[in-house]
Amino acid sequence: MRRGEVIALVGENSSGKTTLAKLLAGLYRPQQGQERWDGRSVTDLDPEELRHAIVVVAQDHTHWPMTAAENIALGDDLTEPGVLPAVRQAAAASGADEVRATLPRGLDTLLDKRFADGRELSGGQWQRLAASRGFYRDAPVLI
């Protein structure tokens, strides 16, 4: 795979697409063969650096009971300079700004209807929010 290249994983059910994606994301280690990153074996790389270089937007994503902004930034401090503008930019890039426009407090809306003033999103709205996480992280590899 070369920089800027888009690869599609296509195949029958149980053909190994998810397993391959997890291997590429570093969630699994190969039982045979090698995974290489810029010519170096993945096993020789610092796992923390590798985790920062890869973003995974899963088909089945978690619905975190946090605000929309916190769901995008996942663990980053929203009060740090540059974080909220990056969250807004990621939301716009993924189409989640349309979701934000429907929420009573915008990105500050709590996304869990079990709490006071909380809201629930549709499946498609959650998918856009999850995609925002990938744009927010801006990693070299997006799976």
Q: Is 110 helix (H, G, I), strand (E, B) or coil?
A: strand
85 lies in which domain range? Answer: 68-138
Which of the given ranges, 23-37, 40-54, 117-131, has the highest pLDDT on average?
Answer: 117-131
Tens digit of each residue's pLDDT (9 = 90 or more) over 18-40: 888 888 888 888 888 888 888 88
Given a cut of 70, whether residue 110 has pLDDT beyond it is yes
Strands 40-41 and 36-37: antiparallel
Q: Evaluate whether residue 90 is within a structural domain.
A: yes
Cβ atoms of 96 and 136 within 8 Å: the answer is no
Residue 49 falls inside a structural domain: no
Specify the number of domains making up the chain. Answer: 1
Name the pLDDT band for 1 (thresholds 50, 70, 90).
low
